[in-house]
């Protein structure tokens, strides 16, 4: 039986998974731009659409250069058009760009695109093959749909913040913008799923991802308290969220901290060898995982007594020798210069035209056998106005000039 997947002429394709895929990217901040960053790094032609003043992360440069560096991290290998979607002519340009695109992504508040007249119902009529991807805080439906959503507020509403921190302290947000990026990954996955389906059906889909909904599966360990005791999970600091494993903590050293986890009895017995406490083999307080959890204070103190006498590098070396899962707690200076990630090509030093010498990430998705995308720096605001409107919409230089004069598109940044 012949596969229903459409056959394409691949003779001129680059050796990149998403070569030939065109994405109209209205993403802003982290969630949407990370999803389209992953697509750009896989070879898609990503056309970033920004308001005339630029998206919020680009504007951070007025606060400090460093606070705007995430724009360079998430928008490499994209082309940029600055477009006034509050004008009818601006919306017409967006429609014309989308008519021949494969994907449109937006993470505005629910209802914004519909009010502008460029939502799913309109765009899918213009382009039945379009994958329309919408990222929001709480989804396109439901009683909480219109609640304002940012990473920290969704951390609070999702339950994530309630289990982060120490038992005697206030709830604490996670240090990184975990919800933005967790939902950005899901948005990418939804787009890829719909693109795969389209090869069979020839039809597009509306794909939506709610930030709140991407968090719940990550709370799997903490849910033990709900089902075992019928209570809200407590904050456990650096211990296991379900208090179901020991050792599982961050332990002090002479010059910092080291994280240690023991999942099985081999790990525990190896740890006793590492800290020269094989005399405790068979001790009822530590002989099983449940016993170690019941005596968690003694378990942690036993390990702390050893780690505080060593540097984190010394401890990591010893635990590595005895195959005890561990890692030193490193700061971002150390991580930015991580030899392993630089050697693998995940991190890369570049000379950015706006930000100078910075480290930027590549895609964590490794498609073996595919060519590496040649990196281009994140674009200036409106950098590709003339290129895209001329090539894709066949507008003349005079027509583009009038759009600039009338405030429909911006003038490219110098």
Q: Which residues are catalytic?
A: 180
Give dist(CA 366, CA 307) in Å, integer.
36
């Amino acid at each position: 039986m012949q596969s229903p997947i459409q056959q394409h002429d691949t003779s001129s394709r680059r050796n990149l998974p998403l070569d030939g895929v065109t994405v109209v990217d209205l993403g802003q901040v982290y969630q949407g731009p990370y999803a389209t960053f992953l697509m750009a790094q896989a070879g898609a032609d990503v056309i970033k659409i920004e308001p005339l003043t630029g998206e919020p992360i680009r504007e951070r440069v007025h606060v400090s250069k460093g606070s705007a560096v995430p724009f360079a991290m998430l928008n490499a290998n994209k082309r940029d058009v600055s477009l006034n979607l509050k004008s009818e002519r601006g919306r017409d340009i967006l429609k014309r760009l989308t008519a021949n695109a494969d994907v449109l992504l937006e993470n505005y508040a629910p209802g914004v695109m519909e009010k502008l007249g460029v939502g799913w119902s309109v765009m899918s009529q213009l382009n039945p093959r379009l994958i329309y991807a919408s990222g929001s805080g709480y989804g396109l439906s439901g009683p909480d749909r219109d609640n304002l959503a940012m990473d920290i507020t969704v951390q609070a509403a999702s339950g994530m913040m309630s289990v982060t921190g120490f038992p005697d302290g206030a709830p604490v947000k996670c240090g990184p913008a975990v919800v933005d990026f967790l939902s950005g990954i899901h948005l990418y996955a939804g787009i890829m799923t719909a693109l795969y389906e389209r090869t069979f059906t020839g039809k597009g889909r509306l794909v939506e991802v709610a930030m709140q909904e991407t968090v719940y599966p990550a709370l799997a360990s903490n849910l033990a308290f709900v089902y075992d005791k019928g209570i809200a999970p407590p904050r456990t600091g650096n211990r296991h969220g379900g208090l179901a494993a020991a050792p599982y903590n961050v332990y002090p050293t002479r010059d910092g901290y080291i994280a240690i986890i023991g999942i099985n009895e081999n790990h525990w017995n190896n740890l006793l060898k590492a800290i020269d406490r094989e005399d405790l083999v068979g001790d009822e307080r530590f002989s099983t995982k449940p016993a170690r959890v019941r005596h968690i204070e003694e378990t942690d103190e036993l390990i702390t007594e050893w780690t505080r006498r060593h540097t984190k590098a010394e401890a990591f070396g010893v635990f590595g020798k005895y195959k005890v899962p561990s890692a030193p707690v490193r700061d971002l200076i150390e991580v930015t210069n991580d030899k392993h990630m630089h050697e693998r090509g995940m991190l890369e030093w570049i000379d950015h035209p706006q930000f100078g010498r910075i480290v930027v990430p590549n895609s964590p998705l490794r498609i073996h056998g595919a060519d590496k995308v040649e990196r281009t720096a994140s674009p200036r605001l409106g950098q590709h106005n003339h290129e895209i409107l001329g090539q894709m919409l066949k507008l003349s230089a005079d027509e583009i000039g009038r759009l600039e004069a009338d405030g429909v598109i911006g003038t490219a940044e110098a």
